[in-house]
Amino acid sequence: MFWARLRLFLQRYWLWVAIVALLVVSIVLPIWYMSGMEESVRRYIVGINVASLPWGILQTLVFVGFLYLLQYGGGFARFKKSRVDAGAVSTRFTDVIGLMEAKREAWEIVQLIKDRAVLKKVGGKILHGMLMVGPPGCGKTMLAKAIATEAGVPFMSTAGSEFVEIFVGVGAARVRKLFKQARQYAKAYGACIIFIDELEVVGKHRVFMDAFGGSSESNSTLNQLLVEMDGLTDEDSNIVVVGAMNADEQVLDPALLRPGRFDRKITVGRPNLQERREIFEYYARHIALDPTVDLGRLARKAVYKTPAEIENILKESALIAVRERRDRVTYKDVSAAIERIELGVVHRLNMTPHEREMTAFHEAGHLVVLYLYHPTNDVFKASIVQRGGTLGVVHAVPREELYTSDANTLRAHIKVSLGGYVAEKLKYGVTTDGVSADFSHAMTVAHNMVWRLGMSDEGLVGDFTRIPKEQLSDGLKEKLNNATQRLLQGAMVEVETALKTEGHILERFARELLAREELDYDEIVQIFMEYGKPPKPLPSESSSQPAFPPRPANSIPEGGRDARPPASTAPRPANSIPEGGQDARPSDSPKQT
């Protein structure tokens, strides 16, 4: 093993070894030779040499400069060196929080790497490539490192973007170099893992019909990758390539997914409630968190958040606590951090009292409808503090991770969106342009329900957006649009009735918002309790959640159901609401496809 590692060292750093050896020889030899001379001659020789030193250096620089110009055509673009981190890592499986399912599959891969010799004897298929798919920030890199650590093999990490170059062949050369290095490591340590992040950057579908050769560079890079992966069948190379990507693997060139290449797949998804709790606990160790903070509640609030986002939230909350000159991070700080990340920093406007009051009624309208009539969402916060481009917000979170929405839920989204409009209308008789974002959301949901999901009362079934608009008859279009409008009208009538019945609650919340500016979940529930309206029970408290709920989305292969959860939490960017947007409801804007 020592000799193998020495060889690896020489292979990697032979140039440095040679330079050092040359320097030593060129210093030691003259000294040894001159020691036999007379004093005056020695001084003479040393003097001449020192005097000519600057000239020598200058000449060398000019020579090297010309060499570069000749070789690289004057451009410095290729000075960029591809970045490959290599070596031992020390991330254990226990350091990867959550991801139970992905860890289980990863463990199997660790075993496969360890039992290669046995596997070879038995004649089983040897693993060469593995794909990790999932949203960014969910711990793919960490899991890959953990596989390397647990299998006890070196870990080489690079990213797809490192192979993207303008010149044809440069990317391919990098791929070659990467695998050459990996083979050296594999020889020295018995096996090696290559981790390629952002695989989709190099692994996109190859383009063959490009008259100008515009894509031949990425094609040649991908081809080289395919060739290298096929070369891994050699007896001596125990190399496993782990590719990670954020997008769906459909964007990859099918050749990459063929047997012998990336034929294993691990989904690294967003953490569920229990996992989020563990992640909060893990990162909370690094900050001085007040012991009264209920991490379970935070985990519920952070539905669909990735581990990286949770870490970011806790770091931000520590900043807030420091700014407020407290030495402990409280629940309020964490809550404020979530809002700052999702909605932007507080940005106070000089509003007239009347405007503030209207905003308060608008938000109270959302709040009451959400709390009383939404089957799956909870209100976590209501505020009339201006942030980014919004004047106020009713912050809703899904009470559990749902992967589908039924018609009732979608109708509830519409009703909540219309709550602000109806409240303004009931209170003042006129409405403001602050409803534009709400309407756009409500319209989107209603349009999807009628045009795409067969949820209209008229019994129109099918996805009519699949058919080009000009192929739909005017009559049908009119029918669809009427159905959409009827859906919205119906929802509005319901909201009107509800808010009229609960007018006193609406009034109360508007006053509370004006007085306190922000209301937290507890405060909101307390007020509703005064009116005899307890909160809906949390699903995690009423029933024990299975760790891995069956995902119905799997049963529909592609393009079918829009897998809602990730997109649905995307906070609406503040600048999408031009001005006077009174609302940014981050949790239930549906994904449009």
User: Is the CB of 159 or the CB of 396 nearer to Zn ion?
Assistant: 396
363 is catalytic: yes
Asked if 383 interacts with Zn ion (CB under 5 A), we say no
Nearer to Zn ion, 224 or 582 (CB): 582
Q: What Cα–Cα distance (Å) separates residue 579 from each residue in 342, 386, 390, 514, 567? A: 18, 11, 8, 21, 24
Contacting range for Zn ion; rule: CB under 5 A; set: 412-420, 487-495, 520-528, 533-541: 412-420
Q: Which is nearer to Zn ion, 223 or 432 (CB)?
A: 432
Catalytic residue among 363, 502, 512, 518: 363
The DSSP bridge partners found for residue 327 are none
Asked if residues 143 and 108 have their Cβ atoms less than 8 Å apart, the reply is no
Residue 384 · residue 359 · CB < 8 Å: yes
Q: Which C-beta is closer to Zn ion: that of 142 or that of 369?
A: 369
Residue 491's contacts (CB-CB under 8 Å, 6 or more residues apart) are 411, 414, 415, 418, 442, 446
Q: How many C-beta atoms surround the C-beta of residue 74 within 10 A?
A: 8
CA distances from 477 to 180, 338, 457, 466 (A): 61, 42, 16, 13
Query: Binding residue for Zn ion (CB under 5 A) from 582, 584, 588, 589?
Result: 582
Question: CA 286 → CA 140, 307, 315, 339, distances in Å?
Answer: 22, 14, 9, 21
Query: What CA–CA distance (Å, rounded) separates 307 from 329?
Result: 19
CB 590 within 8 A of CB 455: no
Question: Residue 362 CB, nearest distance to Zn ion (Å)?
Answer: 5
CB of 511 to Zn ion, least distance (A): 18
Q: How far is the CB of 361 from Zn ion (least distance, A)?
A: 11
How buried is 155 (Cβ within 10 angstroms: 0-12 exposed, 13-18 middle, 19+ buried)? buried
CA distance 35 to 561: 86
Residue ranges of alpha helices (H) inside 190-292 are 199-203, 216-230, 273-284
Q: Give the integer Cα–Cα distance in Å for 163 and 166.
A: 10
x/- binding map, residues 422-461, to Zn ion, per CB under 5 A? ----------------x-----------------------
The DSSP H or E segment spanning 264 is strand 262-267
197/470 Cα distance (integer angstroms): 43
**DSSP calls for 13-59:** HHHHHHHHHHHHHHHHHHHHHHTTS-HHHHHHHHHHHHHHHHHHHHH
Question: Is the Cβ of residue 378 or residue 583 nearer to Zn ion in the bound state?
Answer: 583
* Residue closest to Zn ion when measured from CB atoms: 583
* Least gap, CB of 420 to Zn ion (angstroms): 3
The one among 154, 420, 586, 590 contacting Zn ion by CB under 5 A: 420
Residue that has been written with the tokens 């629940």 in this structure: 331
Report the distance separating Cα 427 and Cα 511, nearest Å. 13
Name which of 253, 284, 247, 260 is nearest 140 in CA terms.
247
As measured in angstroms, the least distance from the Cβ of 300 to Zn ion is 24
CB 566 within 8 A of CB 544: no
Kindly write down the DSSP assignment for every residue of 139-166, as one continuous string: SHHHHHHHHHHHHT--EEEEEGGGG--S
Q: What is the DSSP string of 47-66?
A: HHHHHHHHHHHHHHHHHHHH
How many chain residues touch Zn ion (CB under 5 A)? 4
Q: How far is the CB of 437 from Zn ion (least distance, A)?
A: 7
Q: Count the helix, strand and coil residues of the chain and give each as a percent rounded to the nearest 5.
A: 60, 10, 35
Smaller CB separation from Zn ion, 455 or 584: 584
SS3 assignment, position 290: coil
Q: Based on CB atoms, which residue is closest to Zn ion, 448 or 582?
A: 582
Q: Least separation, in Å, of the C-beta of 392 and Zn ion?
A: 7
- The candidate with the shortest Cα–Cα distance to 397, out of 374, 414, 418, 419, is 374
Shortest Å, Cβ 435 to Zn ion: 6
CB of 249 to Zn ion, least distance (A): 38
- Applying CB under 5 A, the span of 162-170, 309-317, 340-348, 419-427 interacting with Zn ion comes to 419-427
Among 140, 583, 587, 589, binds Zn ion (CB under 5 A): 583
State in angstroms the smallest separation of the CB of 112 from Zn ion: 53
Other CB atoms within 10 Å distance of the CB of residue 20: 11
Beta bridge mates, 377: 398
Minimal distance, residue 496 CB to Zn ion, in Å: 16
Residues annotated as catalytic (active site), given as ranges: 363
Residues that bind Zn ion (CB under 5 A): 420, 438, 582-583
